[in-house]
Amino acid sequence: MKYWQPKYETMDHEDLRKLQLERLKRTAADVYNNVPSYQKKFKELGITPDNIRSLDDVGKLPFTIKSDLRDNYPFDLFAVPNKGIVRIHASSGTSGKPTVVGYTAGDIEMWANMMARNLTMVGIGPEDVMQNSVNYGLFTGGLGFHYGIEKIGAMTVPSGTGNTARQLEMMRDFKTTALHCTPSYALYLAETARELDILDKLSLRVGCFGGEPWSSGTRKDLENAFNIKAYDSYGLSEMIGPGVAFECEEQDGLHIWSDHYLVEVLDSEGEQVSKGEKGELVLTSLTKEAFPILRYHTGDITRLLESECGCGRTTDRISRVLGRGDDMLIVRGINVFPSQIEDVLSGVPEITDQFQIMLDRNRNRLDEISVKVELEDNVFTGELKDLASVKRHVESQLKSVLNIRTSVDLVERGTIPRTAGKSQRVIDRREAI
């Protein structure tokens, strides 16, 4: 079994908790002494860093939400002077001011080591050629993976996004063995490679996919299309970027690096849920210098799993992200996640992986949900012999899972727009009515 940093990856649970407490105390003191908005929150709660005497005391600390980052735009949450910042990244700011995160040289080195752990964990090493097909620039995905790939000594192909035919040409010519991109773009790459009849000319063996929720069905489709092992990557810029959590070769949950993060999975009342129950992932950074952050509401819905894993690592583990709290759709009082729909559709051989969810309101002001799905080219080679039977079957499967009537619109392959980044899965037209 390969480990990048075995001292931390396989640490005894008691020793790990001692390390976490030591680092939690230091982080609490850092933000209290250096970040005015956190000091104000501490005083409002009537606490100081001295109140942190055990890991259970994390519940005494203030929460942090995305609006805190926007309210302190651009640099007021940094815990070091600007002269100590060697890089910044930022969100797109499509829903307001962008959220800005900063890094010291130590943060960059820590991030690269964390990514090296992840890549080593899935069997990528110096002999590999890894194509990094995500955005570079202010987005954390490109450079975050890039430094980790270089850290393990693999050949890095910084291809970025777009120009799908060129991406595939590089993949073929450079004999790329590992790929990083969003799962929706990977599906598009596979579809295009099939059309160009070059799938059998590719050397891929490993895929690392993240940036959006994806299902076990999508994993199966990607593994079958490219003849690879597909691994889930989780990260967010507020915590560092990609690399916060990653699957191992067991493909049974994602390891969160517990020497760098303290994990909570909370219900809507802010209480810790039991292992195996759904809740919102809340993270506290333990080692960040420039931008330490306490009890950050990620908005991502997951389950906390038992830490024991067949790979031998002893870190906290979470399930694949089930969706985002702000992506959850409420239709006639029922909670619906796009990933639930994706799971259903992936089990129907007559349709492709491409779909869009449409939300509308009828004349009685009641919510209606429909799903546009693309048909496979060989749609009638299976048991379902006509469009009407395909439509009825998919609608029946969706209703059994979602507990709400969902109409299905069958369209030709290639109808739904493809992108090089995150796919637009949901079109909500309810406010337009």
CATH, residue 244: 3.40.50.12780
Q: What average pLDDT score do residues 270-274 get?
A: 94
- Regarding whether 315 and 335 lie in a shared domain, the answer is no
- Regarding whether 335 and 270 lie in a shared domain, the answer is no
Tokens found for residue 152: 């393990």
- Regarding whether 34 and 121 lie in a shared domain, the answer is yes
Most confident segment among 202-216, 274-288, 323-337, 372-386: 274-288
State residue 55's pLDDT score: 97
Tokens found for residue 157: 């192909």
- Regarding whether 426 and 302 lie in a shared domain, the answer is no
User: pLDDT grade, residue 241 (50/70/90)?
Assistant: very high
- Write out the residue range of the structural domain in which residue 94 sits: 1-324
The answer to whether the predicted template modeling score (pTM) of the entire model surpasses 0.85 is no
Q: How many domains does the chain have?
A: 2
Q: What average pLDDT score do residues 279-283 get?
A: 96
Domain boundary among 324, 340, 362: 324
- Regarding whether 333 and 319 lie in a shared domain, the answer is no
- Regarding whether 181 and 279 lie in a shared domain, the answer is yes
- Regarding whether 314 and 336 lie in a shared domain, the answer is no
- Regarding whether 362 and 284 lie in a shared domain, the answer is no
Do β-strands 206-209 and 229-236 pair in parallel, antiparallel, or remain unpaired? parallel
Q: At how many degrees (to 10) do helices 36-45 and 13-34 cross?
A: 110
- Regarding whether 382 and 314 lie in a shared domain, the answer is no
- Regarding whether 362 and 246 lie in a shared domain, the answer is no
- Regarding whether 132 and 54 lie in a shared domain, the answer is yes
User: pLDDT grade, residue 417 (50/70/90)?
Assistant: confident
Q: What average pLDDT score do residues 322-341 get?
A: 79
- Regarding whether 282 and 335 lie in a shared domain, the answer is no
* CATH number of 410's domain: 3.30.300.30
Q: What average pLDDT score do residues 138-150 get?
A: 96
Domain boundary among 324, 352, 378: 324
- Looking at the predicted structure, is the pLDDT value of residue 94 above 60? no
State residue 433's pLDDT score: 42
User: pLDDT grade, residue 95 (50/70/90)?
Assistant: low
Domain boundary among 269, 304, 324: 324
C-alpha distance across the termini of the chain, in Å: 57
Residue 415 CB burial class (10 angstroms; 0-12, 13-18, ≥19): middle
- Looking at the predicted structure, is the pLDDT value of residue 312 above 60? yes
Beta strands in 229-295 (DSSP E): 229-236, 241-247, 254-256, 261-266, 278-285
